[in-house]
């Protein structure tokens, strides 16, 4: 059944360009889109599409979703808090704390948090030359769908990456790698004696009252109202669509397993950037972006992106089977957006359809950030 955009509410008419961009994204293959904007005009929430294919129920405004790699921002915050307390130094060698992996002693904690370690990405890589390098799990067809319920141990994820060639010497390039943040989670565990997820709850979730944010571990369910995510693929040459809402998040771990909602992410990013969560030294770390061009602006747990002239945001993106998440803010946290997209039947190995979806996704994101009412 064709996914049908939900009708616009009167308070959404303030930004017709965003409404059109969201509907275009649904037409390009998203099942549902949820946007929360918080700026000097207040909080505005908009939705398009449906929560589940074959049904007309709208995307729930307070619904939960998998935030993917936005998890990294939570993990980075915990590491920065530990550094502020003197439990570690960002320029310490990771090998000092995790000697069992035999890491290059030049790799520092800061390098993990800013993706300049050079470590292979255990979930696979798309190289600049157009080649695709394999990850620890399959990425095509029914085997990929079946693998989504498999449990993984973080040491095994790291071990897989370390058996592959490094991408560049430590500190001499930029290469986004989930391996970096799985190691950061293990580092937190080594230093505190607790699972990284418990530290996220203790230091971030509980103090900020993020009642709908969880670190699920190996639990395959989303624990509350939510929109469904899907995966398009081909089997024996025939197009198929799988509901991948229920998946084992252990293969993301500290690199991408958290479940949250738009309100909690809005609160988290506000506190992260206005000084309520981090002490001054840590706040300086997250708002100081290196390395310089040609690499993207990156700080521990955040990226810098220019959406349009004079409109620069800092934040993070997330992508896991069935779900996309974007959270961006002004540098001072005064204007913010959260966007959750549940994927539909788009096959990422169908170049034409996937390119159209990506174009629509980018247009919606740029339109959303450009619509923010910045402080005057």
Q: Give the mean model confidence (pLDDT) for residues 292-317.
A: 87
Instruction: Render pLDDT for 329-359 as a digit per residue (tens, 0 to 9).
Output: 998 899 999 999 999 988 877 889 989 999 9
Write out pLDDT tens, residues 200-233.
999 999 999 999 999 999 999 999 999 999 999 8
Among residues 6, 69, 260, 340, the one annotated as catalytic is 69
Q: Is residue 4 very low, low, confident or very high in pLDDT (cuts 50, 70, 90)?
A: very low
State the burial class of residue 292 (Cβ atoms within 10 Å of its Cβ: 0-12, 13-18, 19+): exposed
Average pLDDT of the residues in 346-374: 91
**Known catalytic residue: 69?**
yes
Specify the range with the lowest mean pLDDT, choosing from 31-45, 251-265, 291-305.
Answer: 291-305
pLDDT number for residue 235: 82
pLDDT score of 204: 98
Q: Which residue has the higher pLDDT, 76 or 133?
A: 76
Confidence of residue 239 (pLDDT cuts 50, 70, 90): confident
Checking if the pLDDT of 14 tops 60, the result is no
| Residue 293 reports pLDDT greater than 60 | no
Predicted confidence band of residue 154 (pLDDT cuts 50, 70, 90): very high
pLDDT computed for residue 93 by the predictor? 98
SS (H, E, C) 31-80: EEEEEEEEECCEEEEEEEECCCCCCCCCCCCCCEEECHHHHHHHHHHHHH
Res. 132 pLDDT band, cuts 50 70 90: confident
In this structure, are strands 336-343 and 298-299 parallel, antiparallel, or unpaired?
unpaired
pTM equals 0.94
Alpha-carbon gap, residue 252 to 256, rounded angstroms: 5
Residue 6: which pLDDT band, with cuts at 50, 70 and 90? very low
HSE toward the beta carbon, residue 110, CA cutoff 13 A: 16
The pLDDT value recorded for residue 182 is 98
Q: Which residue has the higher pLDDT, 15 or 95?
A: 95
In this predicted structure, what is the pLDDT of residue 248?
95
Distance CA 85, CA 146 (A): 43
Residue 187, pLDDT score: 98
Q: What 3-state DSSP class applies to 225?
A: coil
DSSP annotation string for 125-171: EE-TTS-EE--SS--SHHHHHHHTT----HHHHHHHHHTS--SSSTT
The mean of the pLDDT values for the chain is: 92
Q: Domain 10-370 has what CATH class?
A: alpha beta
């Amino acid at each position: 059944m064709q996914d049908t955009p939900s009708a616009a509410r009167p308070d959404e008419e303030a930004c017709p360009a965003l409404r059109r961009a969201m509907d275009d994204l649904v037409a390009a293959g998203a099942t549902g889109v949820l946007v929360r904007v918080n700026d000097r005009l207040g909080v505005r929430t908009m939705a398009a599409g449906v929560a589940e294919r074959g049904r007309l129920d709208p995307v729930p405004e307070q619904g939960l979703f998998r935030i993917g790699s936005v998890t990294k921002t939570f993990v980075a915050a915990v590491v920065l808090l530990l550094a502020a307390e003197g439990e570690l130094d960002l320029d310490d060698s990771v090998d000092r704390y995790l000697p069992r992996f035999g890491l290059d002693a030049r790799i520092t904690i800061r390098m993990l948090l800013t993706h300049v370690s050079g470590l292979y990405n255990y979930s696979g890589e798309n190289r600049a030359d157009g080649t695709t390098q394999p990850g620890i799990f399959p990425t095509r067809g029914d085997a990929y769908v079946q693998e989504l319920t498999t449990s993984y141990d973080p040491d095994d994820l790291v071990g897989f990456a370390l058996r592959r060639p490094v991408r560049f010497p430590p500190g001499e390039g930029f290469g986004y790698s989930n391996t970096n943040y799985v190691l950061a989670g293990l580092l937190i565990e080594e230093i505190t004696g607790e699972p990284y997820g418990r530290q996220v709850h203790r230091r971030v979730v509980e103090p900020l009252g993020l009642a709908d944010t969880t670190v699920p571990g190996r639990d395959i369910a989303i624990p509350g109202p939510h929109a469904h995510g899907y995966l398009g693929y081909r089997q024996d040459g025939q197009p198929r669509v799988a509901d991948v809402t229920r998946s084992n998040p252990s293969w993301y771990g500290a690199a991408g397993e958290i479940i949250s909602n738009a309100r909690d992410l809005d609160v988290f990013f506000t506190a992260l950037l206005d000084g309520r969560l981090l002490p001054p030294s840590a706040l300086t770390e997250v708002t100081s972006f290196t390395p310089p061009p040609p690499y993207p602006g990156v700080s521990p747990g955040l990226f810098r992106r220019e959406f349009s002239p004079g409109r620069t945001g800092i934040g993070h993106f997330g992508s896991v089977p069935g779900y996309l998440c974007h959270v961006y803010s002004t540098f001072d946290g005064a204007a913010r957006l959260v966007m959750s997209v549940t994927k539909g039947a788009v096959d990422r190995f169908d170049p034409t359809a996937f390119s159209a979806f990506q174009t629509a996704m980018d247009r919606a994101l740029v339109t959303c950030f450009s619509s923010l009412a910045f402080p005057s």
